[in-house]
C-alpha cells in the first residue's frame, strides 16, 4: 500500500518524524516549508519528494536547478528569498524615513539567508535596516517593545514557518504597541496585519497533488520542473491602517490586489 505523508516545518522533532515515516515504508514524502524539506532530503536520496513552499530550493540543496531538478526531489517554491527587496520597498513607502525595522527568526536554516538578502536590499535603496532576531515565541513581546522604543512605526516580519505560526501573536503585540506589520503571508493581513505581499498558497497546494499523481504513475521527480507562484498578491488592511493612524500611500492602494475594509 502506498504511504503518502505530509510533514510540517514547524515541529522541532522534524528529523525524527521523517525518519519514522521512512522506517514505516513511505513511498513518497510531501514536506511543507524549508525546514521539513531539508530534513526530508537529508534522510533519503531515493524516495520521491514533492516539497511545498520552499523559498530557494537550489540554495537549500534540494534541487540542482529549477527547470531540471535532478535527484529525487521537486515541488513548489514560494520564492520568498527573492521577495526581500519588495518587502523593503513596502516598508520604506510606509515609514517615509531613512530606517526600516525587521523582525526575523534566528532558529531556522534559511533565516540568516533571508535576513542578509533583506539587509542588502535595504542598502541598495539607501535605508538603514534596524533588525532584531528572535528564536522563540517568548521573545516576541520584548523585541516588539524594543522596536517601539526605537521609534518604529511599522515592522517587516520575515516570512518563515515560525512567523506564520506566530502571526496572531506578532500582529496583536505590535498593534498593542501602535505598530503596523508587513508580512509575506496573505492570511496575516486578514488577521489584522497592516499589509501582506505573498503568493497564493491555495493555488500552490492545489497543484501539489498533480505532481504526486504523476510521480506515482512513474514520472521521475527529476523530470518535473520546480513551479513558481503564478501570482504574488498585495493586500492592505485599511481597518488596521485607520486604527493605528498609518497613512498608506495612494500608489500602494492602487496596486493592491485586495483592500480589507
Task: Over range 86-90, report the average pLDDT.
Answer: 95
Judged against a pLDDT cut of 80, whether residue 12 lies above it is answered with no
Half-sphere exposure of 261 (CA within 13 A, CB side): 4
Judged against a pLDDT cut of 50, whether residue 241 lies above it is answered with yes
Lowest mean pLDDT among 22-26, 44-48, 106-110, 230-234: 106-110
- The topology (CATH level 3) of 4-80+200-230 is Rossmann fold (3.40.50)
What is the grid cell recorded at 116?
A: 542578509
pTM (two decimals):
0.86
Sheet of 195-199, strands arranged across: 128-134, 99-105, 154-157, 180-183, 195-199, 232-237, 258-260
- The topology (CATH level 3) of 81-198+233-260 is Rossmann fold (3.40.50)
Task: Over range 219-240, report the average pLDDT.
Answer: 95
Task: Give percent of the chain with pLDDT exceeding 70.
Answer: 95
Residue that the C-alpha cell 504526486 belongs to:
212
Judged against a pLDDT cut of 70, whether residue 154 lies above it is answered with yes
Judged against a pLDDT cut of 60, whether residue 3 lies above it is answered with no
Residue 9: predicted pLDDT: 42
Fold equal for 4-80+200-230 and 81-198+233-260: yes
Judged against a pLDDT cut of 90, whether residue 258 lies above it is answered with yes
Domain ranges of the chain: 4-80+200-230, 81-198+233-260
What is the grid cell recorded at 157?
A: 516580519
Instruction: Give the torsion through C-alpha atoms of 240, 245, 246, 249, to 10 deg.
Output: 100
pLDDT confidence band for 251 (50 / 70 / 90):
very high
Residue 7: predicted pLDDT: 45
Phi and psi at 199, nearest 5°, equal -80, 165
Report d(CA 246, CA 154) in Å as an integer.
Answer: 9
Write the Ramachandran bin of 44: left for phi over 0, alpha for psi from -120 to 50, otherwise beta. beta
Judged against a pLDDT cut of 50, whether residue 8 lies above it is answered with no
Report d(CA 31, CA 23) in Å as an integer.
Answer: 16
Report d(CA 157, CA 140) in Å as an integer.
Answer: 11
Task: Over range 112-121, report the average pLDDT.
Answer: 91
Amino acid at each position: 500500500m502506498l504511504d503518502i505523508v505530509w510533514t510540517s516545518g514547524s515541529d522541532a522533532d522534524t528529523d525524527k518524524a521523517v525518519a519514522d515515516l521512512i522506517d514505516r515504508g513511505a513511498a513518497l514524502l510531501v514536506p511543507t516549508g524549508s525546514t521539513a524539506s531539508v530534513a526530508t532530503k537529508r534522510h533519503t536520496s531515493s524516495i520521491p519528494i514533492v516539497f511545498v513552499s520552499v523559498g530557494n530550493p537550489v540554495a537549500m540543496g534540494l534541487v540542482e536547478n529549477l527547470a531540471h531538478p535532478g535527484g529525487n526531489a521537486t515541488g513548489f517554491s514560494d520564492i520568498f528569498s527573492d521577495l526581500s527587496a519588495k518587502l523593503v520597498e513596502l516598508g520604506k513607502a510606509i515609514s517615509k524615513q531613512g530606517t526600516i525595522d525587521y523582525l526575523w527568526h534566528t532558529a531556522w536554516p534559511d533565516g540568516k539567508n533571508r535576513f542578509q538578502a533583506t539587509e542588502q536590499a535595504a542598502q541598495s535603496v539607501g535605508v538603514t535596516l534596524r533588525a532584531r532576531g528572535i528564536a522563540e515565541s517568548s521573545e516576541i513581546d520584548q523585541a516588539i517593545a524594543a522596536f517601539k522604543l526605537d521609534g518604529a512605526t511599522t515592522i517587516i516580519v520575515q516570512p518563515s514557518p515560525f512567523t506564520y505560526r506566530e502571526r496572531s501573536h506578532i500582529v496583536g503585540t505590535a498593534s498593542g504597541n501602535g505598530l503596523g506589520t508587513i508580512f509575506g503571508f496573505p492570511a496575516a493581513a486578514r488577521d489584522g496585519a497592516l499589509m501582506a505581499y505573498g503568493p497564493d498558497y491555495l493555488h500552490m497546494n492545489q497543484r501539489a497533488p498533480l505532481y504526486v499523481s504523476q510521480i506515482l504513475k512513474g514520472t521521475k521527480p527529476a523530470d518535473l520542473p520546480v513551479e513558481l507562484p503564478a501570482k504574488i498578491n498585495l493586500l492592505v488592511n485599511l481597518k488596521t491602517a485607520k486604527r493605528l493612524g498609518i497613512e498608506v500611500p495612494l500608489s500602494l492602494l492602487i496596486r493592491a490586489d485586495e483592500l480589507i475594509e
